[in-house]
Structure 1
């Protein structure tokens, strides 16, 4: 902590209970009421030390030193806690100024301290200016105690989805902090809490989907109170929640759900290699924000309820989104306002493309873009410790680690010529961090320019392609293996396909409200760009699998090992190792700016542009809330799922 006055220090840390004792000599320690002690004739009491009597969950032992002399006071304080831990703090205080020194004890020492319930803080001081003196003092410190408490544990969710929590503040100087409602490890909603001594009501607002999903008896709902004033303390209370009694009016008829194009026209149909029926695949559905039915995530292999036996779909959608700490939060965000009990919620595949068609009809000048079902892939990263551009851990104001969780859905087909020319692919990007950062976006991400790609052997040289009518990009690129490159050197790196995004949500005047740039890699794509097979109107591709059976120098290492001794088979055969199911991803920048609306909600076009606070036809709702740390800070890129294979022994094959 930077030097500050005593008063400012107390305000920042919420210190309302300090005790001090004045010692004679050049340096005196205060704890409790100030008691004058006769000073030796040669030592003038020019310096004073105040010790905070409580230690919060931030693990800070706080010492404030004041200099009453007309010259600088300096020296050292040696601190020792009886339950474990020592530190030496140097001080240099300007004349008639003050300086606050913090000693953050280790987690283990704090645990021992709180288990004991009290500790003796021994202070040995050596003053060098304005005169020399030594002193010792023993003070008692105790763990900070919660001052906010829930007045009761049984609550009813009101008809407007509000949860009125009653908090009682016991501190004379008032209390402040935040309250989170959690279900298991998932944060459902949160609000700030602040007030004078007494009882206050804090209103938490739940989403429609969260209220619909509310159980009659819910023992896993907890209210987590994180206090910042008068001390840093966190505590949790189990809640019993129930819904408000329904009105006596008759229940309305369930809404009639129409089918999206992704569900009705772009859904999956079995091939000769697949054993699951199309109707079973169609049962994996969710209701999107527009009230339409969309396909969503499912396992690559399931039990067919009609036969009781395992069957395969032949394609996969990546990580199970339910393994993400953000799933309930994101699923609720994409649920329609008229959702009724029993209707499914999840990640709607093809929602952005559906809105693109609506936006295009209203505004004109936008080419339609609908993608195949199998290309939708999910990526999950929980509790990621964030690094700045210098690879240093980012921390909160209390010194704790900045941690974020991510849930991403990216359409990334790796079997057809589509991505050799088309740069726009549907993305869903959600992140939530313990500094308050929150973002949920759905856009068509442009990976570089249309009619342009890059090859693995020359990743900085653009390769012109043809056929796309999609808009130009503003960053990023698609690095796709080329036949010449892989044929000359068939290795894991020449075959590695990498899509680098550069996504933004911008206001009508061009102001960037959110910028994020995850990358997506494929280690076993089933296609390579083939210039020799391309024409003036088409983009040619070839199959990595076929390199195993070339008459001259067949590929025999890495994924091709052993294939040249097998009778040739088609690239769609499940025996092929080139399925596009071995994927990894990279997290990079996450920069957010405040939106015009304090809720963080804006409505952009399907490409993330022209974001406004009011919805228009075809506009997509985006959530952008900067945190206390993340904003304009530069982040390091981190890689995940380096060995992930979502097509292992589950019937997955190209096209996937």
Structure 2
């Protein structure tokens, strides 16, 4: 089903623009899932034939030290499990372009790092980790205004410095990012998560709620108004008060996932941060969806809009939201594996439902097989990821939706 969607004309699939790679070329990028079914997977922004796909999926998973074991990520596997186990119920269908991969090798875990600082602190390295994850984060559509569960394929292998013990997790689930039905506020105009905007019902209706993390913090019209009014905020990097601008039209997605049994204690607290989403929330717009690039023609300050206005001055053309020349395309991302705790004195194979709940040592209808290994004395570990611009090569012609 997941593969059928991506090769069809479905809005969740791949819809090439004129001159972009055909659906037939795009369909060549597939892999087998744990269930033996065929799933779409990672592909480069451009095919070897030279055509561009117009979207990207992040890091090449083959660059990861974990690839030999983890192999290609299977986009949409959790939705397939959900549908197969409950064919008459509601299902979670995520669009193809939102699947993003992060691969980081030899990431040092610093003692005392809790992730609150922009840069990692100085200190003792307590572990070294390899991370290969795939997360679905669409920042161009209204989907995340209400829907809080998003697919995570998580591989993390850490070697502890004190005794060289290895702790490893291979975990796949639709994880909740905050509460269903709405989203929290960003730091523009701030403070973080100072309000929750109720938008509408989530799909599926039984989407679990994550109340331990900040959840999905999405830019709304209040941030735009703060920019117009010249309001300021404290900039961590420069240590000064600066006006809000287009650099603050960003999104932060937090999550807190825990599995706890008599033998297993597993917690991850990832962060997915996008600096240049294509959208913001505006209740006055159709589908409550507004385009950031349109603000550039309303005098909004900031480097991103300066770029857009220069293009219009030079060409006489208005830059559309899905134009490759628009800087608002969800390509500048900071992904952090985040908080990581794992102790397991039981079997390494554990089975959960699609939401990562109801852990069992035996498979059951609708279950997903997980892997947890390691019983090192508990440490507070924060695993840093990477900040990367996946549209750095303009020849890739990446554009929203992405």
2:67 maps to 1:327: yes
Residue 603 of structure 1 aligns with which residue?
A: 351
Instruction: Structure 2: give runs of 5+ residues left out of the alignment.
Output: 114-120, 160-164, 228-243
| Residue aligned with 2:73, SS | coil
2:199 maps to 1:454: no
Residue 467 of structure 1 aligns with which residue?
A: 201
Higher strand share: 1
1:609-653 superposed Cα distances (whole Å, 9 cap, x missing partner) = 111111112210100112435xx3112463521x43346311110
Instruction: Structure 1: give runs of 5+ residues left out of the alignment.
Output: 1-257, 305-309, 332-345, 396-401
| Residue aligned with 1:587, SS | strand
Equivalent-residue separation in structure 2 for 1:379 and 1:470 (angstroms): 29
2:329 maps to 1:579: yes
Residue 618 of structure 1 aligns with which residue?
A: 366
| Structure 2 counterparts to residues 279-294 of structure 1, below 5 A | 279-294=24-39
1:508-552 superposed Cα distances (whole Å, 9 cap, x missing partner) = x8x863110110111110000112337xxxx501111001112xx
Residue 235 of structure 1 aligns with which residue?
A: none
Equivalent-residue separation in structure 2 for 1:259 and 1:271 (angstroms): 18
Rg larger in 1 or in 2?
1
Residue 497 of structure 1 aligns with which residue?
A: 251
> Is the 8 Å Cα contact of residues 505 and 604 (structure 1) preserved in structure 2?
no
| Residue aligned with 2:91, SS | coil
> Is the 8 Å Cα contact of residues 353 and 368 (structure 1) preserved in structure 2?
yes
What is the deviation of 1:562? 3.8
| Structure 2 counterparts to residues 465-614 of structure 1, below 5 A | 465-468=199-202, 469-474=205-210, 475-476=212-213, 477-489=215-227, 491-507=245-261, 513-533=265-285, 539-550=287-298, 554-565=299-310, 566=312, 567-594=317-344, 596-597=346-347, 600-614=348-362
Equivalent-residue separation in structure 1 for 2:134 and 2:80 (angstroms): 16
> Is the 8 Å Cα contact of residues 425 and 446 (structure 1) preserved in structure 2?
yes
Change (3 A) 1:271 1:281: closer
Equivalent-residue separation in structure 2 for 1:495 and 1:562 (angstroms): 15
Change (3 A) 1:639 1:327: closer
Residue 652 of structure 1 aligns with which residue?
A: 398
> Is the 8 Å Cα contact of residues 150 and 176 (structure 2) preserved in structure 1?
yes
Higher relative contact order (CA 8 A, sep 6+): 2
2:137 maps to 1:416: no
Equivalent-residue separation in structure 2 for 1:404 and 1:530 (angstroms): 40
| Residue aligned with 1:355, SS | helix
> Is the 8 Å Cα contact of residues 7 and 14 (structure 2) preserved in structure 1?
no
Aligned-pair RMSD on alpha carbons?
2.3
What is the deviation of 1:436? 1.3
| Residue aligned with 1:301, SS | coil
What is the deviation of 1:262? 5.0
Please give the TM-score of this superposition, normalised by the length of structure 1: 0.52
Equivalent-residue separation in structure 1 for 2:207 and 2:222 (angstroms): 29
What is the deviation of 1:264? 5.4
Equivalent-residue separation in structure 2 for 1:637 and 1:583 (angstroms): 16
Change (3 A) 1:637 1:575: same
Change (3 A) 1:595 1:621: farther
> Is the 8 Å Cα contact of residues 16 and 22 (structure 2) preserved in structure 1?
no
What is the deviation of 1:433? 1.8
Change (3 A) 1:647 1:621: farther
> Is the 8 Å Cα contact of residues 148 and 177 (structure 2) preserved in structure 1?
yes
| Residue aligned with 2:85, SS | helix
Please give the TM-score of this superposition, normalised by the length of structure 2: 0.82
Residue 429 of structure 1 aligns with which residue?
A: 154
> Is the 8 Å Cα contact of residues 415 and 580 (structure 1) preserved in structure 2?
yes
Change (3 A) 1:587 1:292: closer
1:48-98 superposed Cα distances (whole Å, 9 cap, x missing partner) = xxxxxxxxxxxxxxxxxxxxxxxxxxxxxxxxxxxxxxxxxxxxxxxxxxx
Residue 277 of structure 1 aligns with which residue?
A: 22
1:196-255 superposed Cα distances (whole Å, 9 cap, x missing partner) = xxxxxxxxxxxxxxxxxxxxxxxxxxxxxxxxxxxxxxxxxxxxxxxxxxxxxxxxxxxx
Equivalent-residue separation in structure 2 for 1:606 and 1:530 (angstroms): 32
Higher helix share: 2
Deviates more, 1:412-421 or 1:431-440: 431-440
1:481-526 superposed Cα distances (whole Å, 9 cap, x missing partner) = 112313431525521211011122344x8x8631101101111100
